[in-house]
Amino acid sequence: MRKVEKYIVNMRKISTACRSEFMEDVNVDLFLQPKDLADALGITVQGVHKLLKEHHIESTMANPRQRRIYPASVRQVAQLKGLPIPSGVVVVHLVKGGVGKTTLIHGLAARASAYGCRTLMIDLDQQANLSTSFGVYSRPKKDPSLLDVYVGHMNGKKVKIQDTVVKVTDFLHIIPANLTLANLDVSIVQGTENIGNLFESMFKPIRKDYDLIFIDCPPSLSRVTSAAHCYADKILLPVNTDRFSLDGLELTLEHLSLLQKKFRAKAELHVVINKFDARQKLGFEVINELASEYRDMLCEAYITVSKQIDNSIAANECLWNPQQGKNAALEDFNNLLMEVFNLKTWKDQMAGRRKSVGSSSHSRKREVVAHG
């Protein structure tokens, strides 16, 4: 338990070092409820309460009917049970606007942090929609950006990658975007760096501080997006159920194939159906086409269309705000997180241990009977 406590202290130090003065007063309160953790572990809600009590793991009563388990406590449970913490660099990209890339990262990154993952979001889109969805506003030429990190200075002062990170919660940080990113690609074109390892070098000083890094790319093909692709362990390709999305998917995959040949990029590719509307006949036709042509890449989990989620993003509100209430699309995000990051193994490992303990118990009973 001392290792866990030491980790929590270190994470708070990292959070304290982050910039936070450019955030609006946005309610970002990320946690799991006992049923969420029970489902992830494959045990009962009563089993979760017993586990927390036996090992003195903190939880909070928000009101008489709701108990909250915050990320540090979820991480304690995972480490106590020897369960793997998801890790890697995840890029979300498609050469088409409006497919819901920003919403996808917002939902997945926030939820991953609630499961105890130290999570960093990197906004590469100069429109900064991901940044503002968490109430983070970066001012051009006043707040350090990735362009300033690349050139090494801003207003005559040296800029490090650590200077760009903003704290959203203790377990969720972001490197926000601003309009200066419009010049980042031009600067890279004029430089001599190898695109294949540009981001690995740029983010190396902070990589060890995070389990998961999510990168939101603009809907274009450029040196910047290519650098992100080469840095990625997983690339999520969100598509809507329309023909234009299929065209964008085909073009993006062609570009990724070129990068794989030139830079030996080896990211896992996951096609995600986003904003699915069961009322539209065309949607099922597109799904059948995706299942036929991209079966090995297509995720089983998909995100249903939700006006509530669209309104939350437009209002710069966190999707997982406790006031949101029940929403089928939020359950979709949770299912996608479980699938893409193999969090289902938590339940499998817990079940395997219970089976092993049960087998050992039966064996001991047989031995007692045999020697009785």
| pLDDT tens readout for residues 135-160 | 999 999 899 999 999 999 777 889 99
For residue 37, is pLDDT > 80? yes
- Summarize pLDDT for 285-338 with one digit per residue, the tens: 889 999 999 999 999 999 999 999 988 888 888 999 877 667 889 999 999 999
pLDDT band at 363; cut points 50, 70, 90? low
Q: What are phi and psi of 94, to 5 degrees?
A: -160, 140
pLDDT given for residue 360 in this prediction:
54
Taking a C-beta distance cutoff of 8 angstroms, is the pair 22, 143 a contact?
Answer: yes
Handedness of CA 114, 131, 317, 231 (dihedral sign): negative
Q: Is the pLDDT of residue 359 over 60?
A: no
Contacts (Cβ under 8 Å, ≥6 apart) of 205: 160, 161, 162
Q: Which residue has the higher pLDDT, 284 or 118?
A: 118
What per-residue confidence (pLDDT) applies to 97? 92
Taking only the tens place, the pLDDT of each residue in 109-136 is 999 999 999 999 999 999 999 999 999 9
Mean pLDDT throughout 346-360?
72
pLDDT per position as a tens digit, 65-95: 889 999 999 999 999 999 999 999 999 999 9
Which pLDDT does position 63 carry in this prediction?
83
Residue 101 banded pLDDT, cuts 50, 70, 90 = very high
Average pLDDT, the chain: 89
Tens digit of pLDDT for each residue in 199-219? 999 999 999 999 999 999 999
Per-residue pLDDT, averaged over 193-204, amounts to 94
CA distance 66 to 139: 39
In degrees and rounded to multiples of 5, residue 257 shows phi and psi of -65, -40
Closest CA to 215 of 201, 204, 229: 229
Q: Which amino acid is at 363?
A: S
Q: Tell me, what DSSP letter sits at residue 25?
A: S
Residue 26 pLDDT class (50, 70, 90 cuts): low
Residue 367 has pLDDT above 80, yes or no: no
Q: Looking at per-residue confidence, does 3 or 314 come out higher?
A: 314
Give burial (CB, 10 Å; 0-12/13-18/19+) of 179.
middle
Confidence of residue 20 (pLDDT cuts 50, 70, 90): low
pLDDT at residue 278, rounded to an integer: 85
Within its chain, how far is the Cα of 272 from the centroid?
Answer: 14
Identify the architecture of domain 85-341 in CATH: 3-Layer(aba) Sandwich (3.40)
Mean pLDDT of 38-67: 94
- DSSP letter assigned to residue 366: H
Categorize the per-residue pLDDT at 10 as very low, low, confident or very high, splitting at 50, 70 and 90: low
Q: Is the pLDDT of residue 368 over 70?
A: no
Average pLDDT over residues 94-104: 95
Per-residue H/E/C for 102-134: HHHHHHHHHHHHHCCCCEEEEECCCCCHHHHHC
Question: In this predicted model, which residue has the larger pLDDT, 22 or 281?
Answer: 281
Helix axes 71-80, 34-41, angle to 10 degrees: 30
Within a 10 A sphere around the Cβ of 194, how many other Cβ atoms?
12
DSSP 143-188: S--HHHHHHTEETTEE--GGGG-EEEETTEEEE---GGGGGHHHHH
CA distances from residue 359 to 41, 188, 321, 356 in whole angstroms, order as listed: 20, 60, 43, 5
Q: Let me know: does 89 contact 232? Beta carbons within 8 Å.
A: yes
Q: From CA 314, how far away is CA 106, in angstroms rounded?
A: 12
pLDDT number for residue 261: 93
